[in-house]
Chains A and B, each alone.
Chain A
Amino acid sequence: MGKSTVFNALTGGDAHVANYPGVTVEVKHGHFRAGPVKWVVQDTPGIYSLSAQTEDEVAAEAILLAQYPNVCIQVVDTQNLSRDLYLTIELMELGYKPTLILNKWDIAEKSGRAPDVKKLEETLGLKCIPVVASRRVSLQPLKDYLAGVNPDASARVAKAQVKIDYGRILSEILISAERELAAAGGVQPVPARFAALRLLTCGRGQYPGRGGGRGRIGAGRGRGRGRGRGLIGPYPACGAEPGTGWRHHLRVRAYTECMSQLGEEPVVIVAERRHAFIRAVLQRIGFATGSRPHDDTVMEDVVAGALASGVAAAKIEPSITSHVMSPPVTTLSDRLDRWVLHPVFGWIVFVFGMWLVFQATFTLGAPVMDLIDAGVSWLADTSLAALAGVPLLASLIGEGIIPGVGMVLVFLPNIFILFLVLALLEDSGYLARGSLLTDGVLRRCGVSGRSFIPMVVSFGCNVPAILATRTMPGFKDRLITIAILPLMSCSARMPVYVLLIGAFFAHAWAGTIITLMYFLGIVVAVLLALLLRRTVATGEPGSLIIELPEYKLPRLLAAVKSMWMMGKHYIQKAGTIILAASIVIWFLFSFPQAPATVVANGSAANVAVAAEDLSAGEELAVGDISGAVGSTYAGRLGKAIAPFFAPLGFDWRVTVGLIGSTLAKEIMVSTMGVVYGVGDEVEAEDETLIKTVRTSSGLTPLTALALMIFVLLYMPCLATIAVMYRELGSARWTLAIMGLHFGTAYLLAFLAIQVGRVMGY
């Protein structure tokens, strides 16, 4: 769309994200200065129309309905005027006079699809500003225009800015609706016609409303059901519940009369008439639309109606008969798609592409990870030394906070590279193709191609993946997708695999076992999706309607910005949950304080193990340090819960690690470091920790495998749980999903143990 590009160019990237009150979708805010006036710019989620069906569309709609901005800017793809003017028409009916940014003007001009700006402005009565999208967007014309805008004026009034003729039948019903609404009162801030249209076309409830039904499954979709979203602001007359008097009667009347006399539903007639109006406008400005109505009896009437209504006093000639059909052009994208969407070759491209993404994530990230790791260790050592006089504080900062937060920061390169690659893929137009390519397979698994992008993102981090489900229509599809996303093995689970594989398996097996873990996550996800589809979220996955933009070379700068928007959740996580968790864990592992002798022995054990003198010092020393941890709160907690995990072969020390890693999976590694007495600034490849875990954890290769399976599945991290709860708006569903994950993890780990024992391991 280029909306974000315009936003960034206008605000100079000075954006902060705010949660819009009442909706969970984040809305970007930014500022820019024009002369003495400081403007606040809001970037709404992208929409094609004002009939919201997804969470982010609801947010955009809520903003447009609730606010009275000085300027309303609609970024329009100049090559797709006939599609994008649809929203313009709706905005004008809502009382807006949007300023149209004609984006990609240069491309449209080159292909001969650029309209006459003056004529377009005259016809619609709107300010239109052509903008070149390639490379840097120059928004000088827009800035100049904004400098002249009266900061006290509103771009929105209570009067419709366009009057579309909806035909005799619908018009009569609309007039009745307007009259009834006026009598009922309370439609003042919205043009009467807009309110009437909403009443007749917006009363369904496929998506459970936020007001009462949010988080509940299976809200009715019968005609006349209220949407009940409880949208903020002056949002009139759309709480039409079934059987609520005149509202219901008007809806039924509109439906039966439109069906019997025109053979189509009111919603379709409304869209048809608006499109006919757009066609007339485009023909007026000498713009070929590439399609024409065949049903002349109806359509002549439509266009004549639109003409009679008169837009901004412009006279539009009904040039309906002189139509030109656009020749079937085969674009470069079409030619590329023959391969990219090919039933065989397309999948080869897909699998190879995904492999490349993960390869890049882990190999390119490694050097930076090592650097950060070294930095964290240095910082921890330095602070320990600097605060040597205050042992408790030194321990808190040097052994608790810095290593805990550092543990998460080490994975930042992975996360950011993954998001950068994903952003580049999205910008190129490939991810939309991925949705179409995988739709058939995903449908057999109980979800649709719409879940594809969140699932890919989930391999990086579950949190932004769950946020990405906001573009999905239908609560059931969203519920299933959110339920299975944490089963995709995120990058934070990697260090646990690396540690355990290093300790118990031959190096040659590492790749295979890690790949198996990823596959296991996917298989369990599929089974869980199918289970939910058969039980609570019955029905078919929702339909797939996704725009396939033309391929283009991705822009690095835009991708970096997008990477930042997605990846910053990870940094926020490090600064909040992980920070708090580090302090809590440090406390649990430090108190009550062990007797001094044990601590001293523990230090000796470190030296002994590090010197690889395992035969002599290991038994006694590790036993001692475990004793030290064992007397702390963490140790007591671990011992109390340990019997529950005994069937899986995990002792209390592993249990302590599992408790720690509910906060974030990476914590498993650092917690085990503390438990096994090699200090808590360890990383997964740490030779000392690997040796200690191998010789004294009480784990065997078999139980280690069971532990990996368990860590993969048992529980999403705290940040994921929080986002899950926020997005589903239901504690019940969040707990149910967590229960399912935990049960599955326990069962599979137990099965792995049993099968392994039978096989003689």
Chain B
Amino acid sequence: MESNNGLTPLAKAKLTAPYSVCELQGEEETQQRLAELGFVRGACVTVVQRVGGGAKVRVNGYHLALNSKLLNMIIVRPFVSN
């Protein structure tokens, strides 16, 4: 499921596991909104629950509802604490 370097879209992330944001894709406007809300490189994100194609996601200490297209735009890798 996870490609090289462990990079994966948030859509395919394991439930409740912490990931860190690596890259945003898609339209500039959407990227901007996501980045402003806290989806910046290195931020810790967790998929709390899947709902249909979308999901309830925790980022920056709060919860957001995102649809599947957005989940595919957020590229993450497993969060490694050091």
Chain A interfacial positions (CB closer than 8 Å to B) = 48-49, 51, 53, 79-80, 82-83, 86, 201, 204, 206, 221, 223, 263-265, 267-268, 271-272, 275-276, 289-295, 298-299, 325-326, 328, 333-334, 337-338, 341, 343, 346, 432-433, 435-437, 439-441, 443, 448-449, 540, 543-550
**Given A325-B18, A443-B67: A543 touches B30 (CB 8 Å cut-off):** yes
Q: Is the CB of B24 within 8 A of A264?
A: yes
**Given A83-B61, A272-B40, A547-B63: A265 touches B54 (CB 8 Å cut-off):** no
Q: Is the CB of A440 within 8 A of B53?
A: yes
| A391 to B68 alpha-carbon distance, docked (Å) | 67
Q: Is the CB of B64 within 8 A of A53?
A: no
Contact of B48 among A80, A263, A325, A334 (CB under 8 A): A334
How many whole Å from B10's CB to the nearest CB in chain A?
Answer: 13
Closest to B81 in A: A325
Contact of A265 among B31, B40, B44, B49 (CB under 8 A): B31
How many whole Å from B63's CB to the nearest CB in chain A?
Answer: 4
**Given A328-B16, A436-B54: A546 touches B60 (CB 8 Å cut-off):** no
Q: Mark B19-61, 1 if CB is under 8 A from A, else 0.
A: 0100110011111111111101111101011011110100111
How many whole Å from A717's CB to the nearest CB in chain B?
Answer: 33
Contact of B65 among A80, A295, A432 (CB under 8 A): A432
| A290 to B66 alpha-carbon distance, docked (Å) | 20
Q: Is the CB of B42 within 8 A of A292?
A: yes
Closest to B30 in A: A543
Q: Is the CB of B41 within 8 A of A337?
A: no
Q: Is the CB of A545 within 8 A of B66?
A: yes
Is B12 part of the binding interface, using a Cβ–Cβ cutoff of 8 Å? no
Given contacts A543-B70, A545-B65, 10 further A-B contacts (CB under 8 A): A201-B32, A204-B28, A223-B28, A265-B31, A268-B31, A291-B59, A294-B42, A334-B48, A544-B65, A547-B64
Chain A positions within 8 Å of B43 at CB level: 275, 291
Chain B positions within 8 Å of A292 at CB level: 42, 44
Q: Is the CB of B60 within 8 A of A82?
A: yes
Closest to B69 in A: A543
The contact sample of 12 A-B pairs, CB cut-off 8 A, is: A49-B36, A51-B33, A86-B36, A221-B29, A265-B32, A271-B32, A271-B36, A290-B61, A436-B51, A440-B51, A449-B54, A545-B66
Contact of B67 among A289, A328, A543 (CB under 8 A): A543
Top 10 A-B residue pairs of the complex, sorted by shortest distance between their CB atoms:
A440-B52, A293-B42, A271-B35, A436-B65, A267-B32, A291-B44, A544-B67, A548-B63, A291-B43, A272-B40
Closest to B58 in A: A328
| A82 to B79 alpha-carbon distance, docked (Å) | 19
Chain A positions within 8 Å of B66 at CB level: 543-545
Chain B positions within 8 Å of A449 at CB level: 54, 65, 67
| A267 to B37 alpha-carbon distance, docked (Å) | 13
Is B1 part of the binding interface, using a Cβ–Cβ cutoff of 8 Å? no
Contact of A545 among B37, B42, B53, B60 (CB under 8 A): B37
Chain A positions within 8 Å of B36 at CB level: 48-49, 51, 86, 271
Q: Is the CB of A338 within 8 A of B79?
A: no
Q: Is the CB of A545 within 8 A of B44?
A: no
How many whole Å from A149's CB to the nearest CB in chain B?
Answer: 30
How many whole Å from B27's CB to the nearest CB in chain A?
Answer: 7
Q: Is the CB of B51 within 8 A of A341?
A: yes
Chain A positions within 8 Å of B16 at CB level: 328
> How many Cβ-Cβ contacts under 8 Å join chain A to chain B?
163
Task: Pick from A48, A291, A337 the residue with the most CB of B within 10 Å.
Answer: A291
Q: Is the CB of A221 within 8 A of B60?
A: no
Task: Pick from A293, A294, A346 the residue with the most CB of B within 10 Å.
Answer: A294
Q: Is the CB of B52 within 8 A of A326?
A: no
Task: Pick from B23, B66, B79 the residue with the most CB of A within 10 Å.
Answer: B66
**Given A204-B28, A268-B40: A290 touches B60 (CB 8 Å cut-off):** yes
Closest to A341 in B: B51
Q: Is the CB of A548 within 8 A of B18?
A: no
Q: Is the CB of B67 within 8 A of A290?
A: no
| A439 to B53 alpha-carbon distance, docked (Å) | 9
Q: Is the CB of A547 within 8 A of B62?
A: yes
**Given A82-B60, A291-B60: A268 touches B46 (CB 8 Å cut-off):** no
Q: Is the CB of A439 within 8 A of B42?
A: no
Contact of A338 among B23, B49, B52, B70 (CB under 8 A): B49
**Given A268-B35, A294-B80, A337-B48: A80 touches B60 (CB 8 Å cut-off):** yes
Task: Pick from A271, A289, A544, A550 the residue with the most CB of B within 10 Å.
Answer: A271
Chain A positions within 8 Å of B60 at CB level: 80, 82-83, 289-291
Q: Is the CB of A271 within 8 A of B40?
A: yes
Closest to A50 in B: B36
How many whole Å from B74's CB to the nearest CB in chain A?
Answer: 11
| A433 to B30 alpha-carbon distance, docked (Å) | 21
Chain A positions within 8 Å of B62 at CB level: 79-80, 83, 547
Contact of B38 among A83, A201, A221 (CB under 8 A): A83
| A546 to B64 alpha-carbon distance, docked (Å) | 6
How many whole Å from B54's CB to the nearest CB in chain A?
Answer: 5
Q: Is the CB of A298 within 8 A of B61?
A: no
How many whole Å from B69's CB to the nearest CB in chain A?
Answer: 6
How many whole Å from B81's CB to the nearest CB in chain A?
Answer: 5
| A325 to B20 alpha-carbon distance, docked (Å) | 11
Chain B positions within 8 Å of A291 at CB level: 20, 38, 42-44, 59-60
Contact of B56 among A265, A271, A328, A436 (CB under 8 A): A436
| A326 to B18 alpha-carbon distance, docked (Å) | 10
Closest to B34 in A: A545
Q: Is the CB of A263 within 8 A of B33?
A: no
Chain B positions within 8 Å of A265 at CB level: 28, 31-32
**Given A53-B33, A337-B56, A543-B30: A290 touches B65 (CB 8 Å cut-off):** no
Chain B positions within 8 Å of A325 at CB level: 18, 44, 79, 81
Chain A positions within 8 Å of B35 at CB level: 267-268, 271-272, 275
How many whole Å from A115's CB to the nearest CB in chain B?
Answer: 13
Q: Is the CB of A295 within 8 A of B42?
A: yes
| A289 to B27 alpha-carbon distance, docked (Å) | 28
